[in-house]
Structure 1
Amino acid sequence: MPGFPRLSLVEGTFEELATELAQYLDNAKEGSSVAAAITPLLADAEKSERPAESDRENVLKKLVTASAALNSAPERELQAAYNLLIHLISHAEDPDLFLPPLCKYLSQPITSSPHNGAGIALGILGTLFNSIQPDDETRYHVLLAIIGVIKSSGNYDTLRPQLKNVDSWVEEWELEPAEARKLFLAISDAAGAAKESEDSYHYLLKALRTSQDAESAADAKDLSVRALKAALHNDKHFDFQDLTALDSIQALKKSDETWFELLEIFSAQNFDDLQDFKEANPSFLSEQSLDEAILDKKLRLLTLASLAAAAHKERTLPYKQIAHGLQIPLEEVEMWVIDSIRSGLVEGKLSQQKQEFLIHRSTHRVFTENHWREVAARLDVWRNSLQNVLAVIRQQKEEFVREKEAELQKQGSNGESKGYRPNRGQRNQAERREQAIEVE
């Protein structure tokens, strides 16, 4: 992972380094006997009772199991000890066997360094990530551990620069949909913990898109509701077509009618429809932990966008009509229009004198067949206008050429007439220079 420390060089044979780490672990935890346990498993040419080759797998099992004690090691020694363990694991026939417990240890609090522990853990996990081949799926498990530490420690800024690599990693590691979903959800949770609602929703939606097949139906239902809830609470999310286009969301029409009805209201309906919904389902918002104030504000802004879109021909919207549609006092209209402009839903200018909102641009919340017909009609008008402009330009060009030819013919009194040649600018300039010389 770019941006994380690279693995330092470690010198020595496997046997020497394993013994060194075992002795360190024994010193770190009272009553530990790792060195005594691994010594009979290590090769030593000078001792006949030792095996000809070290039993590396069993040695590493004992070292990795005992390495839980490293989280209480002194801060200045912790990273070096873990780097040594990572180096030893790299000599195993199947390093993947030892990585899950290692990642688990590093995801737990480092008791010897409550303030810097997360940074140390991220540095060690980054070293581990970088020591693995880029196309090795093992990196996936290490990345999950990194994201877990980032979430628990609130270090989301450490992850942010790496998000651009996530899609390429998913492809490079050839992850199954369930694995990709787990990764996207981990990122979404980390972003949510850091109050990064845009990133959180983005990766939640990516997770939901991996669960559109029949095999993922159970997960898809819960994720669909979670994504819908996140979209409703996100104060910057106003377009719900990214949800309505998904099969799992459409399936809510049968499995969770109330949720789907609420989605339809925010997709295409207005503020008075939300009030009717709340009257028909008085306890739904509180039971689902939905913030009524956030929902009311969002739909008032969307309703204003719909009113502006409906008035696209008149290009004006009276204050009274806005107040009625949003169910607000007349004196609050300008505040809501300004909020809608800031949200990017409309553009225009307020006229206090006329008590009108002059519309420059409006947003259609749903693009229907009639809207497509309107676009097609406008394109036809533009095409005809451009054809007329092009015809005028051609006519003017032809007249210009005729005038230049006539002018040059009048000047050619000494002999051969030189006609004007369109698109021959350099040649005509050369001829004019020759004429100038003759005059001198």
Structure 2
Amino acid sequence: MQYCFVEGSFPDLARELAEYLHITPEVEPLLEANTKDEALKKLVIASAGLNSYPEKEFTAAYNLLVYLVMQSPNSNMFLQKMCDNISKPITSAPYNGPGLALNVLTTIFNLIPTDSEARFHIFLAILNLVKVTGSFETLRPQLKKLDQWIDEWESDEEDQRKIFSQLAEIAEDAGEEEASYQFILKSLCTFPSSEVSSKEAQDLSLRALRAALQSPTHFDFHDLTSLPTVQALSDSHTEYSELLEIFSEKELEDYNDFRDENEDWLEKQSLNNSTLHRKMRLLTLASVAASTNSKELEYKRIAKALQVPVEDVEMWVIDVIRAKLVEGKMSQQKQVFLVHRTTYRVFGEKQWRELATRLDQWRTSLRAVKEVISRERQQAEAQKEREMHEIERKVAGATGMGAGRRIGGRDNMVEMGTD
């Protein structure tokens, strides 16, 4: 965060800056008449010349101008012009110029009240400079606050789209493909229903779809199929729409049919068949794993679904586990893949039927387990009861024998006493 520390009264500081910009004759009468905003207007217009002033004086001069502008209750009316001036090339600092300008803009951004609409325009200017300097990393920590800022600025959908689209380009230039993709999705969410088929919406939708298809790590296409702008591609770009459907819910055989029919189109669109084919195999393996009821997936079945030799199956299983589409363990001895966990690519009627079948199987198994437990419990209780009866019988028998001996002994003693 940047701060601006300046001391002095407004007229004195304005005179100092006017002298530095060589416009004292224009500003002095306005200061004497106490028309501060008119004086500021002159200073802001003349500040465009600072881009050719010595590099070491640039930041100090602009800090002074920023301080003066912030003294005005109408500061917002000057900030747009200042941002335009700062964003132009700083000819006195061809290498450090963008960094200097970025520091000044950041200072302005942090000095303005958080709910000021001027912050939106300044943030756009900052994004333009970040794009020029390729310094996405410096911006990344601040993006955590972006949603909060957008709410505070009460930005409309078009303004939000400007921000997200610019951020998508900046992230892409920085090699941050996933971040760029997420910003494109946010941009697509800003289109009202009346504009989902507009050229801008369609271009962005295609950009997102191409990025998702060619990404080596993106396997969940639900984020695209749920967007109205992407759904509108079915009318304007049928091949892309069909390809999305295949990658969302179909299998390798369907992709191979599409490729055979659209080989020229794929090449024209610069869509790499090797990349798509590999991803489709992984998605197909995930689907096969999800549909198996026994949780034991035979290598032969995998080989058939992926159209690969059996000896290559383990390599593909390892890849699908690395892609976090499936969890499980291979049994080379049994030639099966033991599926522990898998995620459905799409959850529709077919998947509901599979789930219902699996629940029925579980219910049947649980009922059988319950019957076994109940039977074992009954047998255990019966055995326990038999053992209790046996103990009671033995105790009763032992007690009867002991009582008879005592009586017999007492009689004998009586008889002996009588003699």
Interval containing the TM-score (normalised by the shorter chain): 0.7 to 0.9
1:296 aligns with 2:285: no
Higher helix share: 2
Q: In the alignment, which of 28, 34, 39 is matched to residue 39 of structure 1?
A: 28
CA deviation after TM superposition for structure 1 residue 364, in Å = 1.5
Q: Do the aligned partners of 1:75 and 1:112 also contact (CA within 8 Å) in 2? A: yes
| Residue type of the alignment partner of 2:11 | E
Shift in Å, 1:15: 2.7
Residue 281 of structure 1: aligned partner: 262
- Matched position secondary structure for 1:98: helix
Deviations 1:405-425 (A, max 9, x none): xxxxxxxxxxxxxxxxxxxxx
Q: Secondary structure at the match of 1:42?
A: helix
1:419 aligned residue: none
**1:316–1:328 distance in 2 versus 1, CA, 3 Å:** closer
1:194 to partner: Cα distance: 1.1
Q: Which of 116, 123, 129 is the equivalent residue of 1:136?
A: 116
Report the Cα offset of residue 314 of structure 1: 4.6
Instruction: Deviation per CA, 1:365-422: give whole Å up to 9, x if none.
Output: 1112343355467678579969x79x99xx9xxx9xxxxxxxxxxxxxxxxxxxxxxx
166, 182, 186: which one pairs with 1:202? 182
Letter in 1 for 2:20: Y
35 and 275 in structure 1: CA distance in 2 versus 1, 3 angstrom threshold: farther
Is the counterpart of residue 313 in structure 1 residue 309 in structure 2?
Answer: no
Cα deviation code 1:283-306 (max 9, x no counterpart): 322333333332222222111211
Question: Is contact 2:196-2:232 (8 Å) kept?
Answer: no
Match of 1:77 among 57, 61, 81: 57
Gaps of 5+ in 2: 382-419
1:261 and 2:258 are equivalent in the alignment: no
In structure 1, what is the Cα distance between the partners aligned to 2:267 and 2:222? 25
Q: Is the 8 A contact 1:181 1:210 kept in 2?
A: yes
1:65 pairs with 35, 42, 45, which one?
A: 45
**Which range moves more in the overlay, 230-239 or 96-105?**
96-105
Cα separation, 2, equivalents of 1:80 and 1:167:
32
Q: Is the 8 A contact 1:64 1:98 kept in 2?
A: yes
Compute the TM-score of the two structures, normalised by the length of structure 1: 0.76
Alpha carbons of structure 1 residues 276 and 213: separation in structure 2 relative to 1, 3 Å: same
Query: Kindly tell me: are residues 11 and 242 of structure 1, through their superposed partners in 2, closer, same or farther at Cα, counting changes over 3 Å?
Result: same
| CA pair 109-313 structure 1, distance change in 2 beyond 3 A | farther
Which of residues 4, 10, 20 in structure 2 aligns to 1:7? Answer: 4
Name the structure 2 match of 1:271. Answer: 252
Amino acid at match of 1:6: Y
Shift of the 195–37 alpha-carbon distance from structure 1 to 2, 3 Å rule, reads same
The alignment status of 1:23 with 2:15, answered yes or no, reads: no
Give me the whole-angstrom Cα distance separating, in 2, the residues matched to 1:366 and 1:197.
24
Identity %: 49
- The one-character-per-residue Cα deviations of 1:61-89 (angstroms, maximum 9, x if unpaired) are 33223322323333332221111111122
User: Partners of 2:220 and 2:332 in 1: how far apart?
Assistant: 30
Cα distance in structure 2, aligned partners of 1:78 and 1:284? 53
Contact 2:83 2:125 in 1 (8 A): yes
Partner in structure 1 of residue 150 of structure 2: 170
TM-score by length of 2: 0.79
Distance 1:309 1:247, change over 3 A: same
Report the counterpart of residue 426 of structure 1 in structure 2: none
Shift of 1:349: 2.0
Unaligned stretches of 5+ residues in structure 1: 27-33, 44-51, 400-440
Q: Shift of residue 329 of structure 1? A: 4.8
- Counterpart for residue 226 of structure 1: 207
Alignment of 1:274-423 (within 5 A): 274-318=255-299, 320-375=300-355
Decide whether aligned partners of structure 1 residues 246 and 125 sit closer, same or farther in structure 2, where only a CA change above 3 A counts. Answer: same
Q: Judge conservation of contact 2:285–2:302 (CA < 8 Å) in 1.
A: yes
* Structure 1 residue 228 displacement after superposition: 1.1
Cα distance in 2, alignment partners of residues 271 and 157 from structure 1: 39
Residues 195, 201 of structure 2: 8 Å contact kept: no
Whether contact under 8 Å (2:293, 2:358) holds in the other structure is: no
Distance (whole Å) between structure 2 residues aligned to residue 25 and residue 326 of structure 1 = 73
Contact 1:7/1:130 (<8 A) preserved: no
Q: Is the 8 A contact 2:168 2:180 kept in 1?
A: yes
Q: How far apart are 1:23 and its partner, in Å? A: 2.6
- Over 3 Å counting, the alpha-carbon distance change for 1:314 and 1:137 in structure 2 is same
Tell me which residue corresponds to 1:96.
76
Cα distance per residue 1:193-222 (max 9 Å; x no partner) = 111112111111011011142045413222
C-alpha root-mean-square deviation of aligned residues, in Å?
Answer: 3.0
For 1:161, which of 137, 141, 150 is the aligned residue?
141
CA distance in 1, matches of 2:63, 2:309: 66
Larger deviation, residues 281-290 vs 297-306: 281-290
Whole-Å Cα distance in 2 between the matches of residues 147 and 157 of structure 1?
A: 12
Q: Provide closer, same or farther for how the CA distance between residues 248 and 69 of structure 1 changes in structure 2, counting only shifts above 3 A.
A: same
